[in-house]
Amino acid sequence: MRWLGLLIVASGCATVHTALDVQAIEAKAVLATSWAGKVDRTPWPFHTSAELETVTRPAGPPVVTRLPIEGHHLAEGIIEEQLVFRSRRSLRYLESNYARLYVYRHGELGERPVQLWVPGLYVSELALKLLRPLLLDTLSQGVDVVFFVPPYHLERTPSGLGSGDAVLATLLSDHLGVIAQGVADLRDTVVLLRSRGVRTLGVFAGSMGANFALQVARFDGSAERPAFEFFTGMIPLVDWSALLLERPEFEGVRAKLAQAGASLEALGALYRELDPSRVAATLRPSSVSVLAARFDQVTPAGPRERWQSAWTITRVHVVDRGHATMLLSDLPSIAHELLAEDLRNGKGRDSD
């Protein structure tokens, strides 16, 4: 029966993929409901993209501590380490206040191109296992990997909660603080890598992580001199509103937030500020790839297609999967070809 279930999940059946996504959304809405009704007197960390840029602006390379990779060994014959630094933005749960990077490198940082992996909401140990073939393929193409641990995930998870749960199982101000911390930590990571001599820096970012990375591209680059030499967004979360303010499963959450005094109009306006389709392209369109799921209920096609159109992105691959089953598609072969193309076409900082 286990193998039968896996075959069904791996199929192209729209009903199966849609149902699994809806089931996941329902579970997360239940989780968020328990916190949505709490009166939150903590000020929001930002109200506009300009404020987000200010509160996340780097002050120079962070001071890092090297630690063993612990349970995240990937391959023999490469250097593996964990880099940790103090986040400049603090959250309600203290476990998240140290940024963590899993580094897999062939030699010294800066000697080879680097692909920065920025995973999405609810990345877990299981998800890391499913990502393993993609990470190994990246290394096989002579690229070093830096894996960014998002706030409230993996080692940054608060005690008693699952990886990613605290992004929604917390006060609204803290949820927005997750965005601020994620963007701040990611901006510091880019400054750190550039300070180590990395000239060609690509990004593979999924879901929520893609939104974080697109804010970094917006704040720290332009189409003429982008923050990243190439960018792949997998099931990218373009518009937070499409999930939290529009999905029917979150109606109870919205009602409780309103009862507790939160302005849904202000929250919607803030989310719109984070939508990359509302600003000019800050990455070269030819350097951007999109991997989308045809039956995705979490990051729907509408906002993604609006962004693709606004930035004239043409390298778009849509597979017959849902958000929850995307990693069960033929991603390794698609990602291999995209990375090979990016390495052929990408220009490092010294080439600009």
Domains of the chain plus CATH, in order, are 13-347 (3.40.50.1820)
Task: Decide: 207 and 236 in contact? Cβ < 8 Å.
Answer: yes
- 8 A C-beta contact, residue 124 and residue 162: yes
- Axis-axis angle for helices 251-259, 14-36 (nearest 10): 20
Tens-binned pLDDT, residue by residue, of the chain (352 aa): 343 344 444 555 788 889 888 999 999 999 999 899 898 999 999 999 999 999 999 999 999 999 999 889 999 999 999 999 999 999 999 999 999 999 999 999 999 999 999 999 989 998 899 899 999 999 999 999 999 999 999 999 999 999 999 999 999 999 999 999 999 999 999 999 999 999 999 999 999 999 999 999 999 998 889 999 999 999 999 999 999 999 999 999 999 999 999 999 999 999 999 999 999 999 999 999 999 999 999 999 999 999 999 999 999 999 999 998 888 888 889 999 999 999 998 766 755 4
Between the CA of residue 39 and those of 42, 43, 123, 238, 267, what are the distances in Å?
Answer: 9, 12, 29, 28, 15
What pLDDT is stored for residue 5 in this prediction?
44
CA distances from 102 to 67, 79, 145, 180, 219 (A): 10, 11, 8, 21, 24
Instruction: Please give the Cα distance from 39 to 41 (Å, whole number).
Output: 6
Q: What is the pLDDT of residues 93-151, one digit of tens each?
A: 999 999 999 999 999 999 999 999 999 998 999 889 989 999 999 999 999 999 999 99
Q: Tell me, what's the pLDDT at 11?
A: 55
- For residue 334, count other CB atoms closer than 10 A to its CB: 17
pLDDT of residue 12: 58
315-319, strands of its sheet edge to edge: 65-67, 79-86, 98-105, 144-149, 114-118, 201-206, 230-234, 288-293, 315-319
Q: According to the 3-state scheme, what is the secondary structure of 188-199?
A: HHHHHHHHCCCC
Quote the CA–CA distance of 164 and 157 in Å, as a whole number. 7
Considering Cα of 102, then 104, then 109, then 114, what sign does the dihedral take? negative
| Beta bridge pairs of residue 204 | 117, 232
Q: Tell me if 157 sits within 8 A of 95, measured CB to CB.
A: yes
Token output for 106 = 């062939």
261 CB-side CA count, 13 A: 8
pTM (two decimals): 0.94
Secondary structure (DSSP) of 250-310: GHHHHHHHHHTT--HHHHHHHHHHT-GGGS---S-GGGEEEEEETT-SSS-HHHHHHHHHH
End-to-end Cα spacing for the chain: 55
The tokens for 220 are: 């720290």
Cβ(32)–Cβ(240) below 8 Å: no
Collapse the DSSP code of 205 into the 3-class scheme (helix H, G, I; strand E, B; otherwise coil) and give the result.
strand
Cα dihedral 121→127→128→131 (10° resolution): -100
Which of 250, 239, 253, 236 shows the shortest CA–CA distance to 288? 236
